[in-house]
Amino acid sequence: MNLTTSTLTQQAQHDLFIFQKELAESDDFSANLRLIDSEELQHRYDYAVDKENPIITHTLALRENMFIKMELAGTNVIMASLSLKDCLSFPGIKEGTLFQKNVRQSLGLNNQVNKGIKNSIYNEGEDFFFFHNGITALCNKMIFDEATKQVTFKGLSIVNGCQSLNTILSCSEKVKALDDAYIMFRFYEIPERERADKISISTNSQSAIKPRDLRSNDKRVRNLKRTYEQKYSQGYLKTKRGELLPANKDKNFELDLSDLAKYFVSWHSQRPNIAYGETKLFDKYFDQLFRKDYLPEDALALNSWMKLVWEKWTKDNPLGLNESLLAMRAYAPYHHLYAISACFLVLNNMPEGVPSPSITFDKAKKSDLADQIADIAGRCLNTALEAAANKPQPSNRVFSPQNWIKTKTCLAGIRMAINQYFNMLPAMPMGKELFQKIKQELKIETDKFSERWAAD
C-alpha cells in the first residue's frame, strides 16, 4: 500500500507504474500495490461518518453515441461503454463498499480470470471491450441530465464486476495511459432489495459461484451479522469470500460464515460427520442450520470452543493424538467440538439434547475448566478411534479411519468413551476431587438444553 496525504510526484507515478507492471507479469508472487491518496482518504472519511450501510453517490459524464438510455419492465436502464480510466473514478473499490450487494469481495489478483484481465490491459487494451463480459451496477436512483449527458447514481453498488474493477485498479498507471480501452456497463435503477439480490446472484458467472456465496446476502445471514456486530462492537462476521478483517476490529471476535456452518452442524445437529461438506451445509441443510433469532453470544462461544480445539491440533500434538486423526485435520477437529458438547450431556445425565454453547463456555471459563474439558474431549475422541480400530473386522476388510470418521458409528463411540472416562475419573489419582469440581461447576439446568437440529 502506498499512502500519501497529497498526490504523487511525476517520478513517484512512474515508479508506481513500474511496480504495478512487474506485479501484473508475475505468476508466482501474490501481491498488490495500491495508492491511498487525498481523494481516497476523503472517501474513507465519508464512509466512516456513515458507518451503517453507506450510500455511494457517483456522477459520470457519458460520451456521445456511446450509451443507450431505455426503460425495460418499468426499470430505468443505461447501457454505456466507459473508458477504463472512468473505472478508476468509482469510489469504494479499495475497501469494498462499492460491492455491498455483491455475493463476494475480491478474491485476489492471481486467479485465472484476473490474470487474463491483467494480460488484456497490458497487451490488448484496444480489444478489452470485446474480451470482457461487462459489469452490472445497481442504484436506488438514477438522475440523467440531457444537456450535459451526465448521470448521477445514488445508492450505487456493483453486483457483477468486483474482480474486474479491483484488477483494473491494480493496473491504474497503465490504465491511465490507455486512450482506446473500454468496458461495457449496465446500470439498473433497482431500489427493491429482494430484486437486487436476485440480480446479484443471477449475474455472477465469470468465476465459480459456491452455495456459500449465494447465501451471503440471505436475510438470515444479514440478520446474524447485524446482531453479532451490534452485540460485540469489536466483532466482525465475514459473510463473503475474500473479505478481510477491518483494522479496527478484534481478531478474537472474528467469525467466518463457513466456519460457523460447520460449528452449527457439529454442535446443534450433533453431526460432525457431515461438517466437511460445505456445499451441502449451504444448500441442503441451510434452512435447518441458520435460524432467524440465533444468539450472537452462542456464535461467539462456539468460536471460542473451536479456538481451544485448534490449540490441541498443532504440530507438537499436546494430547498425543493418533497419527490417523492428525491426518484428518479437515474432518476430525469438528468431532472434537462435538465431543465437548457430549461432555456436558454426560456430566448432566442428559441422554439427548444440545447444551447452550454460551452457558457451557461461560461456566467452563469462569471455573477455569475450559481448557481441561477440551483436553478430555480430545482424548476421548482419540480413545474412540483406537477402540474402533481394535475391533475385529469382517474377513477381507481393513479398518479405515477415513471411513469411520464420516459415519454415525463414530459418534456413538465418542459418547461411550466420554461415559467411560467420567466413570473412571473418581478412581484415578486426584481424580475424585477433579470429578467433584467438574460436576459442581459445570452443572446446567435442564431448560438450558435444546432439541437437536435435524440435518439428516
- Cα torsion at 445, 450, 451, 452 (round to 10°)? -110
User: Is 346 domain-assigned?
Assistant: yes
Do residue 289 and residue 154 come from a single domain?
no
Indicate whether this model's pTM tops 0.85: no
Do residue 260 and residue 198 come from a single domain?
no
User: Considering 136, 171, 205, which residue would you say is the last residue of a domain?
Assistant: 205
User: Considering 181, 205, 229, which residue would you say is the last residue of a domain?
Assistant: 205
The parts of the chain modelled with pLDDT lower than 70 are 1-8, 13-17, 19-54, 109, 204-208, 455-456
Do residue 137 and residue 183 come from a single domain?
yes
Do residue 118 and residue 200 come from a single domain?
yes
* Cell matching residue 247: 483494522
From the list 129, 162, 163, 157, the residue with the least C-alpha distance to 142 is 157
Q: What is the pLDDT of residue 430?
A: 84
Q: What is the pLDDT of residue 52?
A: 40
Residue 114, classed as helix, strand or coil, is: helix
User: Considering 173, 205, 237, which residue would you say is the last residue of a domain?
Assistant: 205
Do residue 332 and residue 407 come from a single domain?
yes
User: Half-sphere exposure of 331 toward its Cβ, with a 13 Å CA cutoff?
Assistant: 17
Number of domains in the chain: 2
What letter would DSSP give residue 443? -
DSSP secondary structure, 268-307, as one string: TS--GGGTT-HHHHTTTSHHHHS-TT--HHHHHHHHHHHH
Do residue 303 and residue 188 come from a single domain?
no
Sort 56 into a burial class: Cβ within 10 Å, 0-12 / 13-18 / 19+. buried
Full residue range of the structural domain in which residue 297 is found? 219-450
User: Is 94 domain-assigned?
Assistant: yes
| Chain segment 374-384, per-residue pLDDT in tens | 999 999 999 99
d(CA 147, CA 34): 36
* Cell matching residue 416: 461411550
Do residue 160 and residue 238 come from a single domain?
no
* Cell matching residue 201: 446472484
Do residue 85 and residue 164 come from a single domain?
yes
User: Is 314 domain-assigned?
Assistant: yes
For residues 299 and 228, is the Cβ–Cβ distance under 8 A? yes
The total of other beta-carbon atoms located within 10 Å of residue 138's CB is 27
